[in-house]
Amino acid sequence: DTEVTQTPKHLVMGMTNKKSLKCEQHMGHRAMYWYKQKAKKPPELMFVYSYEKLSINESVPSRFSPECPNSSLLNLHLHALQPEDSALYLCASSPPRAGGREQFFGPGTRLTVL
Amino acid sequence: GQQLNQSPQSMFIQEGEDVSMNCTSSSIFNTWLWYKQDPGEGPVLLIALYKAGELTSNGRLTAQFGITRKDSFLNISASIPSDVGIYFCAGRGGSQGNLIFGKGTKLSVKP
């Protein structure tokens, strides 16, 4: 298995809903990342997990809550989001040998907040 | 903070033409990565560069890590319609630094 998978592919939610995004990789990567990408913009880093511990939180609002249950899984829990949070949410992972220098992205979850 | 200038912002070319795009930084990087992103999909890693002066090819793609460690370029030879997409450069400085992304080059290819 040589890829990062993300579910769901698309998600539409209301501002009062609670939902979760899921990311999975079985490549033995020990660093995993959440990015947010708006249309025609580069990805913006949100969170970094290294060896299942949160190492970087780029001042993300608390309505986004990451979780790393094990070395293969990364979740992003969403609650009370705003319409401006609508974006493509990307998960990425890095192999240990590259020291986090190479990042491999999943296909993303297209989130729409109504 | 660190910033990357990626140019050109967009390109419209004829099928079969060669393409060149580049990224420059105000600070030194120890890694340069080039990604391609199709609409609605995640970025796909094309080429990774780790040493100043390094020249690496991946099929019709060639990328170089600049000698000054502040720039990188990506060339695509003999473009084809499936080369259409947005190309991002990304750099990393230091052992713990995050990836810094350029703003992307949108490539359009006319058959």
CA nearest B103 in A: which residue?
A42
Q: In a mutagenesis test of the A interface, which of B101, B103, B105, B107 is the best target, namely the one with the most A β-carbons within 10 Å?
A: B101
**For residues A23-33, average pLDDT:** 93
Burial of A47 (0-12, 13-18, 19+ CB in 10 A): buried
* pLDDT at residue A2 is higher than 90: no
Angstrom distance (rounded) from CA B87 to CA B21: 9
* Res A99: pLDDT: 60
Mean pLDDT, chain B, rounded, equals 94
pLDDT of residue A100: 63
Contacts for B1-8: CB closer than 8 Å, 24+ residues apart: B2/B26, B2/B27, B2/B91, B2/B93, B2/B97, B2/B100, B3/B100, B4/B89, B4/B90, B4/B91, B4/B100, B4/B101, B4/B102, B4/B103, B5/B102, B6/B88, B6/B89, B6/B102, B6/B103, B6/B104, B6/B105, B7/B105, B8/B105
Query: What's the residue count for chain B?
Result: 111
Under DSSP, is residue B111 helix (H, G, I), strand (E, B) or coil? coil
Q: Are B24 and A88 in contact (CB under 8 A)?
A: no
Instruction: Give per-residue pLDDT as tens, A33-43.
Output: 999 999 999 99
Residue A83 phi/psi, 5-degree rounding, is -55, -35
Q: Does any CB of chain A come closer than 8 Å to the CB of residue B48? A: yes
Mean pLDDT of chain A: 93
Q: Looking at the complex, report in whole angstroms how far the Cα of residue A105 sits from the nearest Cα belonging to chain B.
A: 6
CA distance A54 to A67: 8
Does residue B1 register a pLDDT over 70?
no
Q: Which residues of A touch B42 (CB under 8 A)?
A: 4, 6, 90, 92, 105-108
Using the Cβ of A11 and the Cβ atoms of chain B, whether some distance falls under 8 Å is answered with: no
Phi (first) and psi of residue A55, to 5 degrees: -110, -25
Q: Does A27 touch chain B (CB under 8 A)?
A: no
Question: Nearest to residue A30, comparing CAs of A73, A89, A90?
Answer: A73
Q: What is the pLDDT of residue B98?
A: 84
Q: What is the 3-state secondary structure (H, E, C) of A58-95?
A: CCCCCCEEEEEEECCEEEEEEECCCHHHCEEEEEEEEC
Query: Which residue from B42, B95, B102 is facing A42, i.e. has the nearest CB?
Result: B102
Residue in B40, B50, B95 nearest the CB of A110: B40
Residue of A42, A56, A101 with shortest CB distance to B104 = A42
pLDDT tens digits, A68-103: 999 999 999 999 999 999 999 999 999 876 666 889
Task: Scan for tokens 């995004």, then name that residue.
Answer: A21
The residue in chain B having the minimum alpha-carbon distance to the alpha carbon of residue A93 is B45
| Interchain contact, B41 vs A107, CB within 8 Å | yes
